Amino acid sequence: MKMEGIITPVITPFHRDQQQSINYEALKQLIDHLIDHGVKGIFILGSNGEFHVIDEDEKIELAAKTVKIVAKRVPVYAGTGACSTKATIRLSKKMEEIGVDALSVITPYFIKPTDDDLYYHYRSIAESVHLPIMLYNIPKTTGCPLSPALVSRLADIDQIVGIKDSSGDPATLEAFAKISKEKEIQLLVGSDSKISYAYSLGASGAVAGTSNVIVDTVVGLDRALRNKETEKAECLQKDIDILRSVLKLGPVPSVMKRAVELAGIAPAGPARYPVQELSEEDDRKILQALHYYF
């Protein structure tokens, strides 16, 4: 499977009800908007999708609804990573039954497994399903990095075909890029500020959270880089920083969700508790950033 272009790790819209239930009408609105504007993949249950606060039965329903909404227009990626190998395998098998196209498996979090532990973890998951798997490296959040040496070993497993690096570290990106050239594993960048740099190293695509909001800017950057339009790409890469500058106003993905709402894209709703809604002052700052694009 070719993992390429802009893949959006979609936010999970919630109603503003007591249960903060999933708003599937808003999800369809967002997904249709993204596909119409040129994204090459829809990635559910990532960090921006709040996988960490969504129950397993909700994840299964969300995946089934997403597969139906997308209707084969682009590939559907589903995050299935958990702290335990058993839980990850269980959810991965469910996702395969539902009909997603690929899995994204984040490292375990809270615990600090060894490279051998992680190798066993990923090999066991790969042996349990027939779907392509994308490794997901985001050590600032999980506290559990994927080392280049481990990724080189994992690249020899047939089902493991890609790695998403959200470390934000140029040296890590360079190491993974070298492995992707030596072995059959595709590199995707998950740090939106590093898209141009990653492409220069040979990355095939970006899992770009900001594309939830500024899809034309991010898809435009991808096209400019592929067409060798250097000056245009430089401008578009810098343009992403306007939105990124306000994302620190609240925990992930509260600001992204509010930006989706304030931009009039879809009623994204709040982040799930314990994360609270943003203030009116925060809204003003987000709107000020959005005015740069819309």
Active site amino acids: 136, 164
Other CB atoms within 10 Å distance of the CB of residue 235: 14
Report d(CA 272, CA 263) in Å as an integer: 20
Give, as one character, the DSSP assignment of residue 10.
-
- Residue 115 makes CB contacts below 8 A (sequence gap 6+) with 147, 149, 150, 153
Tell me which residue of 18, 62, 19, 23 sits closest to 269, measured CA to CA: 23
Is-contact 139 165, C-beta < 8 A? no
- Residue 232 makes CB contacts below 8 A (sequence gap 6+) with 220, 224
Tell me which residue of 91, 82, 30 sits closest to 63, measured CA to CA: 91
Report d(CA 170, CA 103) in Å as an integer: 25
Instruction: Indicate the burial class of 47 (C-beta count within 10 angstroms; 0-12, 13-18, 19 or more).
Output: buried
Phi and psi at residue 42, to the nearest 5°: -115, 125
